[in-house]
Amino acid sequence: MDLIKKAKHAYITISVVMVILGLVLVIWPEMSLSVLCYLIGAMLMIGGIVKLIGYFSKDLYRLAFQFDFAFGILSILLGLVFIIHPEHIISILPIVMGIFVLVDGVLKIQTALDAKTFGLTTWWMIILLAVATCICGLLLIFKPFESAVAMMILLGITLLIDGIQNLWVGIYTVKVSERNVIDVDYKEL
């Protein structure tokens, strides 16, 4: 039970960091791209570790962390690339992040549909945020803006929406079972 609580808190914390980084990019879109690569790389690596921990936890519904083994490994590797080779990532940053959040959004659509099957009443908010994340991811991939400042603002909005989506999923779908041990009396025959 402790592992799932820690995973949930870490998942929520990394989601808040995404929201803050998104706000920073919206407010200060001229931020140094190499600093941004280091920040996103660190966030991806920490988020990947959290995803792996969450995957191996005992989440009652197994919704928030259901795809997180592969996605966690991918996040860690992508984060390493961002940190080790920021000079190569800078030119394709919007496309890479667009693909990443598009995949995350598509997986969250499935999470929303699974949440509906479980009878969770908040499934519609998950799907709404997931669709918004997918749209932002597509916009980052196809780069409708020529201005670097506009692209950074769009990246900020994308991180903001994806962070809110992850917060919602983490808060409303990760359930900790209070009864991990069943205490029964038995009689040998």
pLDDT at 72 over 80: yes
pLDDT range class, residue 122, cuts 50, 70, 90? confident
Q: Is 33 exposed, middle or buried (0-12, 13-18, 19+ CB in 10 A)?
A: middle
pTM exceeds cut of 0.85? no
The first and second tokens of residue 25, run together, are: 């990019």
> 134 with 106: CB under 8 angstroms?
yes
Q: What is the pLDDT of residue 186?
A: 47
From residue 143, give the alpha-carbon distance in Å to each of 55, 94, 98.
33, 8, 9
Q: SS3 letters for the chain?
A: CHHHHHHHHHHHHHHHHHHHHHHHHHHCCCCCHHHHHHHHHHHHHHHHHHHHHHHCCCCCCCCCCCCHHHHHHHHHHHHHHHHHCHHHHHHHHHHHHHHHHHHHHHHHHHHHHHHHHHCCCCHHHHHHHHHHHHHHHHHHHHCCCCCHHHHHHHHHHHHHHHHHHHHHHHHHHCCCCCCCCCCCCCCCC
In this predicted structure, the answer to whether residue 2 has a pLDDT above a threshold of 80 is no
Q: Residue 154 CB: number of other CB atoms within 10 A?
A: 23
Instruction: Give pLDDT, residue 162.
Output: 92
Nearest by Cα to 42 from 14, 6, 9: 14
> pLDDT > 90: what percent of the chain?
48
**CB distance 101 to 162 below 8 Å:** yes
CB-CB neighbours of 174 under 10 Å: 23
pLDDT 10s digits, 128-157: 999 999 999 999 999 877 788 898 999 999
Query: Is pLDDT at 63 greater than 80 in this prediction?
Result: no
Q: Which amino acid is at 26?
A: V
What does the pLDDT read at residue 181?
A: 38
